[in-house]
Copies of this chain bind each other. A is one copy, B any other.
Amino acid sequence: MALMNGEQYRESLRKLRPNIYKYDELIEDVTSHPATKLHVDSVAHSYDMSFDPEKGKIYTAVSHLSGQKAHRWNTLNQTVFDQVGNSDMKRDQFRWSGTCQGATCAGWTGLNVLWAVTYDMDKELGTNYHERLKKYFQYVEDNALALAGAITDAKGNRALKPSQQKNKDTNLHIKEIREDGIVIRGYKIQICGVAAAHEIIAVPGSGYGEEDKDFCLAVAVPRDVAGLTIVETRRPSDSRAEEEGWDSPKVGIITQAYLLFDDVFVPNDRVFMCGEFKYSGKIIGNFAAVYRAAIGACVAGQGDVMCGAAINMARANGLSSKTFQDKLNQMAINNEITYGIGLGAMLKGKQHGSGLFVPDALLAHVNKTQVAKLPYETKVIAQDISGGIAETGCMPTYQDFQSDLYGKQLLECLEAGTDGESRVRAARLVEWLTVGGGVPGCMHGGGSPDGAKLVVRALSQWEKYAEDAKRIAGITGEIAEPPKKK
């Protein structure tokens, strides 16, 4: 069963032990609970699309292990075109659901990246992580699994290293190494798509030195593993998505979870790094290169929806969308910029010895800086075009529109280029995309833009540039960095 459809996927989720909470209540069934259902729905759509004659090319790929067709998120990206497929699937997913889909994203990326790093470790250290991972990868493919990726630790005080934190649990760590596996403990937070995933791939949240080697662990755990408690977070206007009515779109939703690992045992065949601190930076480095090349497609996909939402609002207001053509163009340009730079990073990428294709780090990080910038501009334009009611969704509640007393009048208030209900829904979508539950973490999701700038700094050839400029200027004297002040 390398491919599973949406209904099979939902069925498989229902078999997991309930260990996810929100509002201090246990979620018994993630496929029907309002806090998680919409995210599961959007992932189910990706499963279904794998069978679609046209979309199938986007949602599946040929497995490097079996040579069979598999869900794209169960395969290794071996070529530049596989990475383009990553981009194109994400853009299509965002176009479908209007927002982010965690359970086919970061876990998959983590698995890909571990493919390369375990290869290096085995080669250089004589470990057998790569073999373990290969088996696990095959297991993922065979079972058509959705994977969440747990990277971000709770961290604690940003000015201190993990080992310096007063509470060691603020970062996920190895508590005990046993013969048959390891016991892990601590907090991973803001983890996307957990509720819709079968398994969780956990990797270090940063590159560490020897003093922090306890924090250098890579594992795969079932979502319902013993000792793991998961708490879903509150996002802007999330309660609306959980209610009846049109105050929030009902197609997809982001879920983000806090993972509380309370002495979770991981058997050896699911352990892919255990203290090899020198390789922790490689995981993050490769993860960032892969992830940040593709992330431009995510925001482009959501940007496409913003274009459409703005066009609808213009028309719903009674105006031609052509009135706003310059602004719409600017939205489209913003979308293509992040999509395009990501492709550029891929084209400049290289295949790692293990087979993983790794995009160019400089361009991938440049992309991150734009992902943290351009979608905000696009949102502002969407609000600009859409008019006052869409700006903060300044309209009565769904319940008020149903009022016997004044519901009819409220609908009259909103009727314009289309009927009142359609205009309300159109406006609520703009709200949701710009100041509501559909807003993804463009700024810090996948790491901060300031972090990306550090990479830009590290990878740019400043001294080469200075030399070129000296030559062109015809300078023969010395121009040196001044001595450091004491």
Contact = CB atoms under 8 A, between A and B. Distances in A.
Contacts of A414: 154
Interface string A221-249: 00000000101111111011000001101
A480 B315 contact: yes
Contact of A247 (B234, B328, B344, B402): B234
Interface string A437-466: 001110111001110010011001110111
A53 interface: no
Contacts of A321: 462, 466, 481
B422 A319 contact: no
Given A229-B406, A329-B460, 10 more contacts: A21-B403, A234-B240, A308-B468, A312-B473, A322-B481, A325-B457, A380-B443, A387-B448, A388-B448, A391-B444
Interface string A296-334: 000000001111110110011111111001101100110
A413 B383 CA distance: 35
B422 A476 contact: yes
Interface stretch (A56-64, A136-144, A345-353): A345-353
Given A156-B416, A456-B332, A304 B468 contact: yes
Nearest to A192: B394
A180 interface: no
A154 B456 contact: no
20 contacts: A24-B402, A229-B406, A233-B394, A234-B247, A236-B236, A250-B474, A304-B468, A311-B469, A315-B481, A326-B326, A333-B369, A336-B456, A337-B366, A339-B344, A343-B343, A343-B347, A343-B363, A417-B479, A418-B480, A426-B469
Interface stretch (A70-78, A113-121, A212-220, A427-435): A427-435
- Which of A249, A308, A372, A450 counts the most chain B CB atoms within 10 A? A308
A5 B328 CA distance: 50
Contacts of A406: 21, 229, 231, 260
A156 B343 CA distance: 40
Interface stretch (A124-132, A157-165, A275-283): A157-165
B465 A304 contact: yes
